[in-house]
Amino acid sequence: MARRATALAHPNIAFVKYWGNRDERLRLPANPSFSMNLGGLRTITTVTFQEAEGPDLLFVNGVPVEGPARERVSAFLDHVRRMAGFRGRAVVESITDIPPGVGLASSAAAFAALAAAASAALDLRLSERDLSTLARLGSGSACRSVPPGFVEWVAGERHEDSYAYSVAPPEHWDLWDVIAVVSEQHKAVGSSEGHRRAATSPLHGPRVATAPERVSRCREAVLRRDFEALAEIVETDAIWMHAVMMTSRPPLFYWEPATLIVLQAARRWREEGLPVAFTLDAGPNVHLLCPAEAVEEVARRAQGVPGVLRVLRSGPGGGARILPPEGGP
């Protein structure tokens, strides 16, 4: 008899970034981080475990996926199978509106949804903290997509104490992310390889050493809904992370010419009085954070910047959750 469950998860945008691991196998991060789930984007994943031999099957938006992506999913599902004492293959069907491999945290949503669906299908009944640590094994930032709203990831020293938790629920602050998409090409160097290169940069050590203080300031800014304080933290941390990338060996350049144009425009808009701050994940696309009252103006201006292909927008989102069966309540 097949065991089946469906889960939904959102990507997240990091205010203080995760870049570099102390343990590659367990994805234990070099530093703590802080993020906001993006309710406007989502991944819905159904996992069906079958009492049958054979390779796992993976479908994304109806298309069968082979190669390293399927192998990564199978390796993650092996963790779940061992926890449940289950032998058999899995069929994974994922529907997502997040472009993959362009710095929009598609893997965070993917593995948070996969962790929730797979553990529920095998009736593991994990706490939010334990689900977060499990999701981390698939993609580090996936642990931050498990709790709702504004989330802190505790770096920890072992698998069990490297987890994410909610600092504030989505409704705490109507903060928005306007995403200026300047490229939808899959990046040539993935984040996993970038994490491995981080320690080769002379800027990595100082960034890691000062990250806890930035996380503390970020937490306070979010709790106070202090946009000006948040703006300074997120921009500093984003630039520092990309400086680490650019000074790694070999160097890693994710920015496109249009990326810099958007960054400069955002700085100019804030000087003119528009509340907006930029940040970037591991890709060329720019996240423009702003209070709800500024969303329309920020989106309008971003769409008019040369090189911007389209604009996405999202407010704060909830955590990973199990969906009822089709036809259920």
- Secondary element (H or E) of residue 218: helix 204-224
pLDDT tens for 25-44 read 999 999 999 999 999 999 99
pLDDT in tens, 261-314: 999 999 999 999 999 999 999 999 999 999 999 999 999 999 999 999 999 999
Its pTM stands at 0.94
Note the pLDDT of residue 139: 95
pLDDT beyond 50 at 327: no
| Spatial distance between the Cα atoms of 9 and 57, rounded to a whole number of angstroms | 20
Residue ranges and CATH numbers for the domains of the chain are 3-171 (3.30.230.10), 175-314 (3.30.70.890)
Comparing C-alpha atoms, which of 280, 278, 279, 256 is closest to residue 267? 278
The mean pLDDT value for 50-67 works out to 94
Which percentage of the chain shows pLDDT scores above 90? 91
What pLDDT sits at residue 186?
A: 82
List CB contacts of 247: < 8 A, sequence separation 6 or more.
201, 202, 203
Q: CA–CA separation, 260 vs 238, rounded Å?
A: 13
Longest dimension (CA), the chain: 63
The yes-or-no verdict on residue 103 having pLDDT over 70 is no
